[in-house]
Structures are given as C-alpha cells and as structure tokens.
Chains A and B, each alone.
Chain A
Amino acid sequence: MNSHERTTIALNLGVPDRVPVFSCTEEQNQIYEILGEKDGAIPLSLIQGGWTGKLFKLTAPLTNRIGWLTRETEKFMSKKLESDIALGYDCSWLMYSAIFNLKGNRQATDIWGKLYDLVADPDGNVDTPMYRQGLLTTPELWEAWPHPDPDKFYKTIYRVFADLQKRYGQRIYLMGSLFSGLWESATQPMGLTAFSVTLRRNPDFVRRMVKYYETIYLATIHATADAGMPAFVYSDDMGHKTGPQTSPRVLDEFFGPSLRRITGEAHKRGIKIIIHSCGNVNLLLDLFADWGFDGVHSLEPTAGIDLAVVKKQVGKKMCIFGNMDISHVLSEGTREEVEAAVKSMLQAAALDGGFIMAMTNSHNAVKVENTRWMIEYTHRYGTYPIK
C-alpha cells in the first residue's frame, strides 16, 4: 500500500497494511534539521537585533504591505512538506498560517484580531508566535475590525493549497487546515474573560460572531476540496489541562450547528475532516463524533487522556490520532522509552485498525532523533496483524 491507501483505510476505520504516521510538525529547528539546511531558518535576531532589527521596527507597516511575512510563511509550508516526506510520514497536517502581520519587531497581530509575542525556539529561530491577548475585547471592537472576506479568503487558500497539492500531494496524504477554529476564533480575539462576560450578556452577538467564522471555514473547506486535498484538520483547542474550557452544553448550543454544517459540507465535497483539540477533551469526545468529525487528534496524555478509553468510547465512530507524548518521550526520552510508548499505544488503540500514530502537538522541544524512532517503531510494530 502507498501512503494514500494506508491513510484512507485508517480514516475509514479499517485495517491497512500498517499503522500510518501523521505529521503535525511545524517547527523551524526540526524542519531545517531534517532537510540538512540549518541556514534556511529565519533567526529572530534578524527581526529584533542589530541594524536589521531597527529596520524591521521602522518598516513593519511596509513589510506587511509587501507581504514579506506571508511569503516567508508560505515558503515554509513547502519546506515542512519536504521534511515530512524526507522523514517518511504518511500524512501531513498542512496548516495555512500566513495570517500574521508584524507590529513593530517584538509582536505580531493576526487577521482575526489577536496579539502575539514574537519568540525564539531553542536555536534562536523565529518560533510560532505566542498568543498574548485579544484586541477585540468588546462587540463594538469586533464589529469594527476588518475581518477577511470569505470569497477573497477562498482564493488565497485555494492558490496555496492547489500549488502544494500539485507539488507534494502524490508523495504524501495532505490534510489542509486553517489557524484557528470557531471556539478559538470567538474567544481569543476577545480574551476568555471578555468572551465569558459577553456570552452571558449578549449571546446573540456570540451567535453572530460564530456564524461569520463558519463562513470562513466553509470557504476554506471548498478551497481544500477544489485544490484536490483529500482531508482537512479542523484545529480548535477547546480543552485545558483538566477539562473543557466551557461546558459541552454551551459548545453544542453555540458552536455545534456551525460545526455540523462544516463537517457536512466537507463530506459533501468528499473530504474527511478531523478535529484537533489540545487539553482534556474526555467530556467532548461524543460531541466530536456527533458533530460529524471523522477523526480526533491530540489526545494529550499530560491532560489526562487514556488512549484505550478513547478507543473504546469513540473508536467505532472516529479514527484515533495521537497520543504520543511530547512533554518527555519525544523531547527527552530514550530510544527504549519511545519504543515502549509506541508499543503501548498500538496495543491500546490500533489492534483493529482506525488508528493513526501522531505526536500530540508540534513543539520546538521535540527531538528529530526521537521522531525518527517513533516512525521506525511504528513501522516495525505497527504492521498488521499487530501482535
């Protein structure tokens, strides 16, 4: 079987020749190390240090206008896929993340109204910007924000995804994605506190806001399908360390209708749709299935997720992706620890198919060597029938 056949069968809850392996890596330090192009990474000092730093600070509006960061991010998406293919992944989460604008040379904003700090990875390269706060703390500020037009957004996503699908789609199973989902888009631009107050005082505004993000997602789903990609990862962190950020009832009432339309549209267009959520989502698993998702990813062991329990609870409804630990096993673990983790996960969730091996998140602390071991041991022990 090739990567496409293997991934497709697992997503359909079947038993392929072996367990596929999914990449969610988007860290410069790892991607350029895998490609042997360490000089290719953009150091944060280029943006913040010396004369170039001063230049970036002074010319941030111009830099945004000419789309420098957007172009660099789109180029990086190619590099990510090249490294995923080089490492031997079967399928890849391709997040469209060219959504940032520099705010001076220390911070960035995104198109949704969130403020981030620019931070470095351990090698000093620009890392994924770190969310600091929302800029749209009231309904009035949200209404006044220049939100992206869904039709224009479709064109941008289609252009990028179609190009990447054409160049890499035969060699790896691509899953389009967009940063970020309805819950995050509703809560983070406002900040969780302002959102919680608004949810109490002005629920109709929350519904209107969610409806807008739904149109963006529907446009993105169509762009993904038109680009020829077979799947989509809906990324929306609804959990925190010990549980969901809000109640399943609120999620279903305010977000469920939109999510059902999004998954419905994906299925109409013939693409699979997988939900990614960090945190403890034990209380949300049945909802994920009910909303129509074909797979579920992250399933962080550090947030109290037991893979065997998840498999038993929703394994007949959704393909299970995950839950390789990054807090220790992939960042500091020995070869033996990686081997033991792979074997344990396969026993917990892969015996009757419908399972895709994946680390829980992209993180700059993950070691490439450990990632290679994860793939190697999945190939060794994940060949069906699994003993």
Chain B
Amino acid sequence: MNEREAIQGVLEAVVNVDIDGVAEQVRAALKAGADPSAVLNEGLSAGMRIVGERFQSGEYFLTELVLAGEVLKAGLVPLETLLTKTDIQGKGAVVLATVKGDIHDLGKNLVGMMLSSAGFEVIDLGSDVSSQRIVEAVRKHQAKIVGLSLLLTPMVGSLRSAVEELTRVGLRQQVRIIIGGACTTPGLAKELGCDGHGEDAMAAVYLCEKFI
C-alpha cells in the first residue's frame, strides 16, 4: 500500500464512521510514509467534510455526525505527538457560544466539531455565556469570527446584547458574527445586524470559510 492509498483508507474510515478501525488506518498511513499533516488534512479532515456534506444532503443523520466526531478523536490519537500547532489550527480562531440564558448546546457542539475538522481553532465557551465573556474571548484569541447559538425565542435578547456589546467595545468591525439554532433564521440575522445564518453545522463551515 502506498501512502496515497493509505490516506484514502483513513478518509474512508471517517466517511464510514468506523470508530474502531480509524486509528489502525492512521497508523498504516504513517507506516506507509505519509506526512502527519497530510493524514490530518487529506484523510481525517477531508473525510469529515464528506460526512458533513452527507449530513447536509440528508444521507447521514445526527447520529452519524456525532459518531464521526468520535471517529475523528480516535483518529487523532496516533497523530497527537506528530502534529505541530500550525497543522491543527490553520484557518484562525472562531469563538463559539450558546447565548446567556440558554443551555442547549448540541447544535453548537456539532458546529465546533465540524469547524475543528475543517482546520479552524475553535474557542468553545460553552452555554449560558455572557456578552462580556464573548468579548474577552474575541480579544484574547484575536478571533475573526463569532458563532452564536440559541434554541429559544426568549433568548433573542441575549443574542442582541452580545452583538451590541461587541459593537460597544469597538470589536464589531473586526469580527464576523454568524448565528444558528432552532429559532434562528436569515431574517433574524439580518435584523440583528449579523453577518450570516447557518442552517446546520456544514453551512456554518461554509460561512466561516467564506469569511476568512
């Protein structure tokens, strides 16, 4: 097996959400002489992108998407000591948060997983996050994109507060703000002055890639 075939094996393990076989495929690729960053980018990340596309097209479902996240983690284990920071975090930082008052985080976690696998450095602040913490994280990590999630309509006020706080402290021109979650729409994004709305995790990746 040459290194190209071995990397293809890694990709297929991810696409087939083979949680118990992916690490072996990664080791085989390394043994075949593949560069660790190629295994990451052309194997694991490329596989995750296909999983995301299949999710978006309706071929895969949430269960496959979250399982793919675990496959990715399992595949990264043999690579951990071999990858440099640049290999892993090539596309810049994205701050993610579920807004204040809302603790639903499944959608945000999926977005984080897909962004990580696409090469972004994900700063996940968790759920029920204050505007202040979002501002601090943007400053600290020099993030260019903020992704805000909310499930519930009563939390739209928190979303508005976060946008206003980023504006008030003078960061609004430096960051793109994207939103997602059950009660969000492109219309809401426009109304609040955000830069985009992602219908699902893969759409969020496309938006972020468009903005960098």
How far is B51's CA from A132's CA once the two chains are assembled, in angstroms? 26
Q: Which residues from chain A contact B142 at a C-beta distance below 8 Å?
A: none
B66 at the interface (CB under 8 A from A): yes
Contact A241:B200 (CB < 8 A) given known A197-B70, A201-B19: yes
A200 at the interface (CB under 8 A from B): yes
Q: Which residues from chain A contact B185 at a C-beta distance below 8 Å?
A: 302
B103 at the interface (CB under 8 A from A): yes
A344 at the interface (CB under 8 A from B): no
How far is B200's CA from A161's CA once the two chains are assembled, in angstroms? 41
Hey, which bits of chain A sit against chain B, CB under 8 A?
A: 117, 119, 122, 130, 132, 192-193, 195-197, 199-201, 240-247, 250, 283, 302-303, 326-328, 331-332, 363-365
Q: Which residues from chain A contact B200 at a C-beta distance below 8 Å?
A: 241-242
B61 at the interface (CB under 8 A from A): yes
Report whether A196 and B63 are in contact in the complex, using a CB–CB cutoff of 8 Å: yes
Q: Is the interface of A mostly helix, strand, loop or mixed?
A: mixed
Contact A243:B58 (CB < 8 A) given known A201-B19, A302-B183, A365-B153: yes
Q: Which residues from chain A contact B17 at a C-beta distance below 8 Å?
A: 200
Chain A residue with the shortest CB-CB distance to B104: A130
Report whether A196 and B70 are in contact in the complex, using a CB–CB cutoff of 8 Å: yes
How far is B66's CA from A196's CA once the two chains are assembled, in angstroms? 7
What are 9 A-B contacts defined by CB distance under 8 Å? A192-B66, A196-B64, A199-B63, A200-B17, A200-B67, A240-B182, A242-B200, A250-B61, A365-B152
Report whether B70 and A246 are in contact in the complex, using a CB–CB cutoff of 8 Å: no
Please encode chain B, from 195 to 208, with 1 for each CB lying within 8 Å of some chain A CB and 0 for all others: 00001100000000
Q: Is the interface of B mostly helix, strand, loop or mixed?
A: loop
Contact A197:B67 (CB < 8 A) given known A244-B61, A364-B154, A365-B154: yes
Contact A328:B66 (CB < 8 A) given known A200-B17, A243-B61, A245-B61: no
How near does chain A come to B99, taking the closest CB pair, in angstroms? 14
How far is B199's CA from A175's CA once the two chains are assembled, in angstroms? 34
How far is B103's CA from A250's CA once the two chains are assembled, in angstroms? 28
B32 at the interface (CB under 8 A from A): no
- Using C-beta atoms within 8 Å of the partner chain, give the interface range for chain B: 20 to 34
Hey, which bits of chain B sit against chain A, CB under 8 A?
A: 17, 19-20, 58, 61-64, 66-67, 69-70, 103-104, 106-107, 152-154, 181-183, 185, 199-200
Contact A327:B153 (CB < 8 A) given known A132-B103, A241-B199: yes
How far is B106's CA from A195's CA once the two chains are assembled, in angstroms? 14
How near does chain B come to A355, taking the closest CB pair, in angstroms? 25
How far is B28's CA from A358's CA once the two chains are assembled, in angstroms? 57
Q: Which residues from chain A contact B62 at a C-beta distance below 8 Å?
A: 192, 240, 243-246
How far is B103's CA from A302's CA once the two chains are assembled, in angstroms? 20
Report whether B199 and A195 are in contact in the complex, using a CB–CB cutoff of 8 Å: no
How near does chain B come to A357, taking the closest CB pair, in angstroms? 21
Q: Which residues from chain B contact A197 at a C-beta distance below 8 Å?
A: 19, 67, 70
Report whether B153 and A196 are in contact in the complex, using a CB–CB cutoff of 8 Å: no
Contact A195:B103 (CB < 8 A) given known A122-B154, A200-B19, A365-B154: no
Contact A241:B182 (CB < 8 A) given known A132-B103, A196-B70, A200-B67: yes
How far is B104's CA from A365's CA once the two chains are assembled, in angstroms? 17
Q: Which residues from chain A contact B104 at a C-beta distance below 8 Å?
A: 130
How near does chain B come to A332, taking the closest CB pair, in angstroms? 8
Chain B residue with the shortest CB-CB distance to A304: B199
Residue with the greatest number of chain A CB neighbours at <10 A, chosen from B19, B66, B70, B185: B66
How near does chain B come to A301, taking the closest CB pair, in angstroms? 11
Residue with the greatest number of chain A CB neighbours at <10 A, chosen from B107, B183, B185: B183
Q: Which residues from chain B contact A122 at a C-beta distance below 8 Å?
A: 154
